Amino acid sequence: MRQAQIAFAIETPGQGLLEITDTVAGWLRDTGIETGLLTLFCRHTSAGLLINENAAPAVQRDLVRWLEKVAPERAGYEHDDEGPDDMPAHIKALLTGVSLTIPVAGGRPLLGTWQGVFLAEHRARPHTRKIVGHVIGE
Amino acid sequence: MRQAQIAFAIETPGQGLLEITDTVAGWLRDTGIETGLLTLFCRHTSAGLLINENAAPAVQRDLVRWLEKVAPERAGYEHDDEGPDDMPAHIKALLTGVSLTIPVAGGRPLLGTWQGVFLAEHRARPHTRKIVGHVIGE
Amino acid sequence: MRQAQIAFAIETPGQGLLEITDTVAGWLRDTGIETGLLTLFCRHTSAGLLINENAAPAVQRDLVRWLEKVAPERAGYEHDDEGPDDMPAHIKALLTGVSLTIPVAGGRPLLGTWQGVFLAEHRARPHTRKIVGHVIGE
């Protein structure tokens, strides 16, 4: 058993879901670990990570719209230091979470046919987001 | 330290929570790993995994009703390729998540007294769902 | 590679977010593991764990208020054995989740600058909550 760790910096174009499956799978392949456990961790409180359908872009747009509806701007929040998209982004980070754990087999994340890994940018403007990858296995 | 991995196929009866605690605990016991970390992963985008109360079935029904209320059908989604329960199921999968990590001690998942592991079927009709179990420990 | 496990009992003052970052980081340091994967697990169905901003207390209050709004008391739940805050607490536990996985480097959890680890007490009254810490690494 051994482990590997990496830090990714990913530029987001602003609010929305950005697929990072290939980036993650490429790094995992480079580690040479065939079977194990992959963890991804987002080091932010206004962005998150999620797994959802990657075939139909409309699903991603509907997820973003639903998050906007359930955590709207200007809903009387006490915290608004960084503008109207600030507190909604923290709520969305609670909903999406900031980490993912995925079993690895054959040197690949064991994702289902329609599953993609997404970095969810919850702030309106572009950001550089730090993601940590960790894999343990053999 | 060593690891073990398994693929489960679980038949769901349609929308609702299906407890899989015993299935998971049985497989874990078979691996012989006494102390470690158990990960469960659902390879789908319209079903998920969650831990919640397993004593009172009314809790499970209330959770399903709450998910229906917060992610209703026919709410003006752009994506409806597979019918009215399609996009709500993707939203519910975001909410429940698709993986769980549980410490293991004494050869058992370290669940609390009232905790059960549930496969959450978010589609209306029955489906066969692929779950991966991974454990690392000794 | 080796692992360590610990059980924490944490007293909560009732509904709200209680930061446990230092408690967790202190235990992790004591294990002597420098690089690895940290998992935290809450053994309850009416409390959870989350990572969010720890600099501005207003964020924490807004998160709690948002959870109250999305999972209100007395919303016609079937389950109310333990009072009006019972079923909302189970819903909030679904939303926050009960486990966290965080990569470890330099003997510390690889949290971002603004990230704190919080125990989310979803019941109105104070409770003693059992948290399990597990770390695997070297």
Residue B40: per-residue pLDDT: 98
Q: What's the domain count of chain A?
A: 1
Instruction: Tell me which chain B residues have a C-beta less than 8 angstroms from the C-beta of C78.
Output: 58, 61-62, 65
Tens digit of pLDDT for each residue in C102-131? Answer: 999 999 999 999 999 999 999 999 999 999
Describe chain C by its helix, strand, coil percentages, rounded to 5.
Answer: 25, 40, 35
- With beta carbons less than 8 A apart as the criterion, state whether A55 and B90 touch: no
Q: What is the pLDDT of residue A38?
A: 98
Assess whether pLDDT exceeds 90 at residue C81: no
Q: Check A136 against C105: CB less than 8 A apart.
A: no
Cβ pair B90:A50 closer than 8 A: no
Q: Supply the range of the domain harboring residue A29.
A: 2-137
What pLDDT was estimated at residue B81?
84
Q: Which residues of B50-62 are buried (b: 16+ CB within 10 A; e: fewer)?
A: bbbbbebeebbeb
Length of chain A: 138
* Residues sharing a CB contact under 8 Å with residue A82, sequence separation 6 or more, in sequence order: none
Q: What is the pLDDT of residue C121?
A: 98
Distance in angstroms (rounded) separating the CA atoms of residues B10 and B89: 18
Shortest distance between the Cα of B5 and any Cα of chain A, in A, equals 8
Indicate yes or no: pTM above 0.80. Answer: yes
Cα distances from B115 to residues A57, B13, B59, B60, C12, in angstroms, run 36, 22, 12, 12, 19
Residue B15 in this model has a pLDDT that exceeds 90: yes
Q: Residues C88-106: pLDDT tens digits?
A: 999 999 999 999 999 999 9
Q: How many residues does chain C have?
A: 138
SS3 C64: helix
Q: Do C45 and B35 touch (CB under 8 A)?
A: no
| Among A58, A115, A138, beta carbon nearest to B79 | A58
* CB-CB neighbors (< 8 A) of A93 in chain C: 52
pLDDT of residue C4: 98
Q: Looking at residue B46, what is its pLDDT? A: 98
Q: Is the pLDDT of residue C75 over 90?
A: yes
DSSP codes joined into one string, B15-61: SEEEE-HHHHHHHHHHHT--SEEEEEEE--SSEEEEEEE-S-HHHHH
Query: Searching chain C, which residue's CA lies closest to the CA of residue B59?
Result: C79
Cross-chain residue pair A51–B79, CB shorter than 8 Å: no
- Whether C33 has a pLDDT exceeding 90, the answer reads yes
Q: Which of C107, C27, C96, C94 is nearest to C63 (CA)?
A: C96
- Give, for all 138 residues of chain A, the pLDDT tens digit: 999 999 999 999 999 999 999 999 999 999 999 999 999 999 999 999 999 999 999 999 999 999 999 999 999 999 988 999 999 999 999 999 999 999 999 999 999 999 999 999 999 999 999 999 999 999
Q: How far is B82 from chain C (nearest CA, A)?
A: 26
- Chain A residues whose C-beta is within 8 A of a chain C C-beta are 1-3, 5, 37, 39, 41-45, 70-71, 77-79, 81, 87, 90-91, 93-95, 97-99, 101, 130, 132-134, 136
Buried b vs exposed e over A89-103: b needs ≥16 C-beta within 10 Å? bbbbbbbbbbbbbbb
**Beta-bridge partner residues of A4:** A135
Q: Which residues of C touch A (CB under 8 A)?
A: 1, 35-37, 50-53, 56, 58-59, 61-63, 65-66, 70, 95-97, 100-103, 105, 110-115, 136-138
pLDDT band at B14 (very low <50, low <70, confident <90, very high): very high
Q: Is the pLDDT of residue B6 over 90?
A: yes
In CATH, what number is assigned to the domain containing residue B91? 2.60.120.460
Instruction: Calculate the alpha carbon distances from C85 to A116, B51, B63, C47, C67 in Å.
Output: 36, 19, 14, 12, 12
Residue range B17-56, pLDDT digits in tens: 999 999 999 999 999 999 999 999 999 999 999 999 999 9
Q: Do C45 and B52 touch (CB under 8 A)?
A: yes
- Which chain B residues are closer than 8 Å to C79 by Cβ? 56, 58-59, 61-62
The pLDDT assigned to A81 comes to 84
Residue A104 pairs in a beta bridge with A36, A109
